[in-house]
Amino acid sequence: MVNVSETPGWSSMFLADIASFLLSVLMLVGYHLYLRSKVRKNPSYTIQALNRIARAMWVETMMSSGKPDVISIQTLRNSTMAATFLASTAVLFIMGVLTLSAQTQANTWQVLNTYGANHNELWIFKLILLLIDLFVAFFSFSMAIRIFNHVGYLINVPLGLEHKSMTAQHVAVYLNTAGKHYSIGMRTYYYCVPLVFWLFGPLFMVLATAVLIPLLYKHDRAPKVLADDFS
């Protein structure tokens, strides 16, 4: 165990790591709050918001046919397979992080770390946060798979039965919930990048987050032509 009192400057260097983590989180929170404010003004500002609209329209179209349709099953099957692959990948990443945690020689990873603390305790703490991030991804994709399976049954119930819980709007809410879990899983995957760079030092984490946000915006922003049409 490292004695803090015997380690000159350890406290200030540890604060550098915590400050970089908090700054990284605040940057991402601020980015998503910005997107939310834009979506309130323009419902099709992001591709995720546009997909929610499209899924609701798709469910209504599929259920209005009045008979089971193989297209809906194939579409949900593709979504389920994608979520299954990503959930399995999260498990592999978790196993990799657990293997890495057994290697207590953190000095090799922190050769370029000139601002943060270089201690095994902090190294384990970083790996725990990375594990939490990957577990959130796993459970998010698992929940998406679960709901996609439910929607596979609901979407083929004819609207003519007039069941109050089997309306197109009700099924669309289920499908969009699955899409939300899928999106959360992807976001946690993306945040693995700053967390991994944090292993090399706090400065790298902040830089990785600063690079990640413009890339996210490029992929989150709906095509401008479509956004202008809905505005």
Q: Specify if 50 maps to a domain.
A: yes
Q: Specify if 165 maps to a domain.
A: yes
Task: Work out how many domains the chain is built from and give that number.
Answer: 1
pTM: 0.82
Q: Specify if 4 maps to a domain.
A: no
Q: Specify if 32 maps to a domain.
A: yes
Closest CA to 136 of 100, 187, 98: 187
Over the Cα atoms of the chain, what is R_g? Answer: 22
- Which domain does 16 fall in, by range? 10-230
d(CA 150, CA 99): 36
d(CA 137, CA 86): 8
Q: Specify if 2 maps to a domain.
A: no
Would you say 227 and 42 are in contact if contact means Cβ atoms under 8 Å apart?
yes
Q: Specify if 1 maps to a domain.
A: no
Q: Specify if 47 maps to a domain.
A: yes
**Model pLDDT for residues 192-225, shown as the tens digit of each residue:** 999 988 888 888 899 999 999 999 999 999 887 6
Q: Specify if 3 maps to a domain.
A: no
**Model pLDDT for residues 94-122, shown as the tens digit of each residue:** 988 888 777 655 555 565 555 555 667 77
